[in-house]
């Protein structure tokens, strides 16, 4: 996790250090065994300064999640091209990249770990509701654009967006929690086939003016 690249960051240096330390401790120990003491071990300043900023381990973790979600959404933010079909496939490739960089894999692993906490923690649940809302809206806007430009069939954009998102979530989840790499690649291939056969009216090349 590189906070230093975030030029628009609103976090103080101390807060950023705490986020880095929490993230490192999380990767090392996992959720079940995470503690403020262990976060302190990853941290150069005094453990007491953590309590200056955060009331509890729970507060710290929810803040780390907000921080991580911001980074995740920024990483997906790219310039729209002239081709909505290409943009949609690129977004899917980014999310389902078959050979993710270790950093991106760790990133997603942290998100999956957080997500399981959404079962019982309403603040974390609200964050993931927002993440999925963001992804569904992004996909739906691409579909709406494709329909408006006559390169996609006139589908129910919202419903198809939710379908694509569900498949993406299932593939990401299985990649991180099973050893079924070939199976996951097959699901990814099928998703692209689905787009080609059900959504995209005109393949490749430029869209009509």
**Contact residues for a second copy, defined by CB under 8 A:** 30-32, 34, 109, 112-113, 115-120, 125-126, 128-129, 132-133, 136, 158-160, 162-163, 165-171, 173-174, 176-180, 183-184, 186-187, 189-191, 194, 197-198
Toward a second copy, which CB reaches closer, 17 or 39? 39
Toward a second copy, which CB reaches closer, 11 or 107? 107
Residue 30's φ and ψ, nearest 5 degrees, are 75, 175
Q: Closest separation between CB of residue 17 and a second copy, Å?
A: 24
The Cα angle at residue 93 between residues 202 and 164, in degrees rounded to 5: 70
Toward a second copy, which CB reaches closer, 68 or 83? 68
Residue 187's φ and ψ, nearest 5 degrees, are -65, -40
Q: Closest separation between CB of residue 134 and a second copy, Å?
A: 11
Toward a second copy, which CB reaches closer, 22 or 83? 22
Toward a second copy, which CB reaches closer, 45 or 180? 180
Q: Closest separation between CB of residue 62 and a second copy, Å?
A: 14
Closest CA to 26 of 35, 15, 14, 13: 35
Structure tokens at 42: 């990853």
Q: Closest separation between CB of residue 20 and a second copy, Å?
A: 20
The number of C-alpha atoms within 13 Å of 182 and in the hemisphere containing its C-beta is 0
Collapsing DSSP to helix, strand or coil, 127 comes out as helix
Q: Are 84 and 142 in contact (CB under 8 A)?
A: yes
Q: Closest separation between CB of residue 91 and a second copy, Å?
A: 16
Toward a second copy, which CB reaches closer, 11 or 173? 173
Q: Closest separation between CB of residue 182 and a second copy, Å?
A: 9
- Cα separations (Å) of 110 from 55, 82, 83, 107, 195? 22, 34, 32, 5, 29
- Cα separations (Å) of 173 from 96, 101, 114, 139? 10, 16, 12, 19
């Amino acid at each position: 996790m590189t906070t230093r690249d975030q030029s628009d960051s609103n976090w103080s240096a101390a807060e950023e250090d705490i986020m880095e330390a929490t993230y490192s401790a999380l990767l090392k120990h996992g959720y079940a065994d995470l503690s403020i003491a262990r976060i302190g071990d990853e941290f150069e300043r005094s453990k007491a300064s953590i309590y200056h900023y955060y009331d509890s381990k729970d507060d710290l973790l929810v803040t780390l999640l907000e921080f991580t979600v911001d980074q995740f959404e920024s990483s997906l933010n790219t310039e729209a091209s002239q081709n909505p079909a290409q943009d949609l496939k690129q977004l899917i490739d980014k999310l389902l990249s078959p050979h993710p960089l270790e950093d991106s894999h760790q990133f997603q692993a942290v998100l999956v770990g957080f997500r399981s906490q959404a079962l019982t923690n309403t603040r974390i649940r609200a964050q993931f509701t927002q993440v999925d809302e963001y992804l569904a809206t992004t996909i739906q806007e691409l579909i709406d654009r494709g329909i408006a430009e006559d390169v996609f069939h006139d589908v129910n954009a919202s419903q198809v967006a939710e379908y694509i998102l569900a498949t993406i979530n299932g593939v990401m989840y299985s990649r991180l929690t099973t050893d079924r790499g070939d199976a996951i690649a097959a699901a990814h291939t099928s998703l692209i086939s689905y787009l080609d056969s059900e959504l995209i009216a005109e393949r490749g090349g430029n869209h009509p003016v």
